[in-house]
Structure 1
Amino acid sequence: MSEAAPLLSTTSLSIAYERRRVVDLWSQDFGPGLCWMRGPNGTGKSTRLKLLAGALQPQWGTARIAGIDLIKQPLDYRREVFFVAAEPPPFEHLSPAERFGFLARLYPHADAAVWQRHVEGFGLQAFLNQPLRALSTGTQHKAALAAALALGTRLLLLDEPLIALDAASHAHLQEALAEASAWRERLCLVVSHEALGVEPSTVIELEAA
Structure 2
Amino acid sequence: MAENVVLQVDGLCFAYPECAVLGGLSLAWPGGVALVQGDESTGKTTLMRLLAGELPPQAGEVTLQGVRQRGALQAYRARVFWHDLRSAALDALTARQWLDGLPARYPAWDAAALASHVEGFALQPHLDKPFYALSTGSRRKVLMAGGLASGAPLTLFDEPVAGLDKPSIHHLQSALAAAAGHLERLVVVAHYEALPGVAWDHAITLLR
Structure 2 length as normaliser, TM-score?
0.92
1:22-46: CA deviations, max 9, x gaps?
1222221112111111123332111
1:206 aligns with 2:192: no
- Please, which moves more after superposition, 45-54 or 95-104? 95-104
Q: Partner of 2:166 in structure 1? A: 167
Cα gap change, 1:90/1:174 in structure 2, threshold over 3 Å: closer, same or farther?
farther
Asked whether the 8 Å contact 2:34–2:187 carries over to 1, the reply is yes
1-structure distance, mates of 2:57, 2:8: 14
Letter in 1 for 2:204: I
1:93 aligns with 2:92: yes
Asked whether the 8 Å contact 2:4–2:183 carries over to 1, the reply is no
2-structure distance, mates of 1:84, 1:54: 11
1-structure distance, mates of 2:109, 2:81: 11
2-structure distance, mates of 1:157, 1:141: 12
1:103-146: CA deviations, max 9, x gaps?
22222222222111111110011111111111211111111111
Asked whether the 8 Å contact 1:89–1:140 carries over to 2, the reply is no
Q: Partner of 1:80 in structure 2? A: 79
1:66-104: CA deviations, max 9, x gaps?
111111111111111112445367311111110012222
Q: Partner of 2:37 in structure 1? A: 38
Percentage identity across paired residues of the two chains: 37
2-structure distance, mates of 1:144, 1:89: 13
Asked whether the 8 Å contact 1:35–1:203 carries over to 2, the reply is yes
Asked whether the 8 Å contact 1:80–1:155 carries over to 2, the reply is yes
1-structure distance, mates of 2:202, 2:58: 27
1:196 aligns with 2:195: yes
Within 5 Å, give how 1:35-184 maps onto structure 2. 35-87=34-86, 90-184=89-183
Asked whether the 8 Å contact 2:38–2:193 carries over to 1, the reply is no
1-structure distance, mates of 2:138, 2:18: 38
Asked whether the 8 Å contact 1:15–1:21 carries over to 2, the reply is yes
Letter in 2 for 1:192: H
Cα gap change, 1:15/1:8 in structure 2, threshold over 3 Å: closer, same or farther?
same
Q: Partner of 1:18 in structure 2? A: 17
In the TM superposition, residue 21 of structure 1 has moved relative to its aligned partner by 2.3
Specify the SS of the correspondent of 1:7: strand
2-structure distance, mates of 1:19, 1:138: 31
2-structure distance, mates of 1:200, 1:86: 24
Report how many aligned residue pairs link the two structures. 206
2-structure distance, mates of 1:85, 1:111: 22
Asked whether the 8 Å contact 2:80–2:153 carries over to 1, the reply is yes
Letter in 1 for 2:206: L
2-structure distance, mates of 1:146, 1:136: 15
Q: Partner of 1:9 in structure 2? A: 8
1-structure distance, mates of 2:151, 2:159: 20
Structure 1 length as normaliser, TM-score?
0.92
Specify the SS of the correspondent of 1:21: strand
In the TM superposition, residue 19 of structure 1 has moved relative to its aligned partner by 5.5
In the TM superposition, residue 20 of structure 1 has moved relative to its aligned partner by 2.8
Asked whether the 8 Å contact 1:6–1:29 carries over to 2, the reply is yes
Q: CA RMSD in A?
A: 1.7
Segments of structure 1 that go 5 or more residues without pairing to the other structure are: none
